[in-house]
Amino acid sequence: MERSNVLIVGGSAAGVTAAVTARRFHPDAKITLLRKEEKVLIPCGIPYIYGTVGTPEKNLIPDAVLEKSGVEWVVDEVLSIDREATSVTTAGGGTYGYDRLILTTGSIPLIPPLPGADLENVFPIWKDVGFLQGMLDTLRDAHDVVVIGGGFIGVEFADECAKMGGLTVKVIEMLPHCLFLACDEPVCARAEAALQENGIELLMDRRAKAIVGNGKVTAVELLDGEKLEADVVILGIGVAPNVSLAQEAGLDVDVRAGIAVDDFMRTSDPSIFAAGDCAGRRCYFTGRPSPLRLASVACTEARIAAANLDTLRRRNPGAIGVFSTRVGNLALGSAGMTEKAAREAGLEVVTGEATAPDKHPGCMPETSDLAVKLVFQRENRVIVGGQVHGGASTGELVNFIGALIQQRATADEIATFQVGTHPALTASPIAYQIVNAAENALGEMTRS
């Protein structure tokens, strides 16, 4: 039996990051990664296969990342863990021993309990090259696409399908707005306008009742009786943690929340860690279980797990939830709590907003207006959330807001933090949106 100091199951965002991080802390260790698939997709790039990149083959995590870190990898599915023998067995008949095991088995798409969900040309998003290529081939011959779910996955698929041309695209969402769990209403409304400008029809506050067809899908029936023609249905309603391996090994698992882990990413077995979509997580703000499933969170957890294999070096502060996306020409993103979520959680909050061109003067080439909204807790002026929409710098500004949240920055600190600005690259120092949004919130706090 081959034995590794560190054995990792799963080769996507969390698995690769865990392997590379483990190498940094353990230069001489034997590190092995076992993964089911020959080629691993960049999970967040999956929607962009359809209208932008053109093929799953151009959306792969390069194996060079593992090679450079001296990580061995084997393409094989792990079928069981023998915790007493500290080894795993694989579908290919192999047995691999470990000193430390990191489970990064990820998530699987949720299939709604709707009649007809198993019809041909109804596509949950499996992270599998062959499956996604089949979906691409089907879409190329299709006319009417219905996307069920208006979260970021549904919205990105709708936008990419519209870019393919020749398709009518409709999105069904049961909440009042697209992206409503991640953004406050005005930002959702901007995203919806951008989708509609691209010809996408939005059916908000509506529910699918059944997927209809005879072998192949032909329509989606809504609860109010309306029938939408469809020769392709895309399911974007979320994912469930892939916990069967951990569960069968007798680890503490909650099938909905994930594999139970402590703040150091240790499972109920001290030799076994878990990270990424398969692991349970708690919300940074409330400490309650968090349903967030993001690659960025997965990679952070993997960095924590892999640093703690022999000594506890890093602690998980909980998931803040930083995300961004793009619909049409509008980039938008959100970090931490929306104003709505903060109020629902019982926080008294004050918000500040600022909009300005993202370059200066505003007549510089490729300038867009960029709007920032920050959410602060009134009692201590600490930032708990922020949303940005506008041009391409949105993604990094949202990340920056995420860092401010993690550092528990106050409105006064943000209003006086030092920025570098340049006409071709940023807003002007006078109009710098994050600073001015904090100033505006401070004004509101002083007035009320």
Q: Which of 2, 37, 72, 263 binds ligand FAD (CB under 6 A)?
A: 37
The residues, any chain, with a CB within 8 Å of residue 134's CB and separated by 6 or more, are none
Q: Tell me the per-residue interface mask from 257 to 276 with ligand FAD, x by CB under 6 A, - otherwise.
A: -------------------x
Q: What gap in Å lies between CA 272 and CA 306, rounded to an integer?
A: 11
Q: Per CB under 6 A, does 290 bind ligand FAD?
A: no
Position 149 contacts ligand FAD (CB under 6 A): no
How far is it, in rounded angstroms, from Cα 98 to Cα 90?
Answer: 14
Question: Is the Cβ–Cβ distance between 27 and 89 less than 8 Å?
Answer: no
Q: What are the tokens at 125? A: 């998003």
Measure the N-to-C terminal CA separation of the chain; round to a whole number of Å: 69
Q: Please select the residue that binds ligand FAD; options are 4, 6, 10, 411, rule is CB under 6 A.
A: 10
Q: What is the per-residue binding string for ligand FAD in 382-421, x denoting contact by CB under 6 A?
A: ----------------------------------------
Q: Are 334 and 396 in contact (CB under 8 A)?
A: no
**Per CB under 6 A, does 43 bind ligand FAD?**
yes
Residue bearing tokens 């993604």? 395
Two structure tokens written together for 241: 């943690």
Query: Counting contacts by CB under 6 A, is residue 125 touching ligand FAD?
Result: yes
Nearer to ligand FAD, 106 or 213 (CB): 106
Amino acid making up residue 333: G
Q: Please tell me the count of residues contacting ligand FAD according to CB under 6 A.
A: 34
- Residue choice 6, 7, 183, 294 for contact with ligand FAD (CB under 6 A): 294
Rounded least distance, CB 84 to ligand FAD, Å: 19
Which one among 6, 14, 142, 435 touches ligand FAD, defined by CB under 6 A?
A: 14
Give one word for 281, left, alpha or beta, with left for phi > 0 and alpha for psi -120 to 50: beta
Smallest distance, Å, CB 37 to ligand FAD? 5
Q: Does 153 bind ligand FAD (CB under 6 A)?
A: yes
Indicate whether 242 belongs to the interface with ligand FAD (CB under 6 A): yes
Residue 46, C-beta contacts closer than 8 angstroms, at least 6 positions apart: 59, 125, 127, 132
CA-nearest of 273, 297, 302 to 283 is 297
Contact, 229 vs 218, CB < 8 A? yes
In the complex, least distance from residue 365 CB atom to ligand FAD, rounded to whole angstroms: 27
Nearer to ligand FAD, 70 or 238 (CB): 238
Q: Which residues bind ligand FAD (CB under 6 A)?
A: 9-15, 34-37, 40, 43-44, 46-47, 77-78, 104-107, 125, 127, 153, 242, 245, 276-277, 293-296, 298
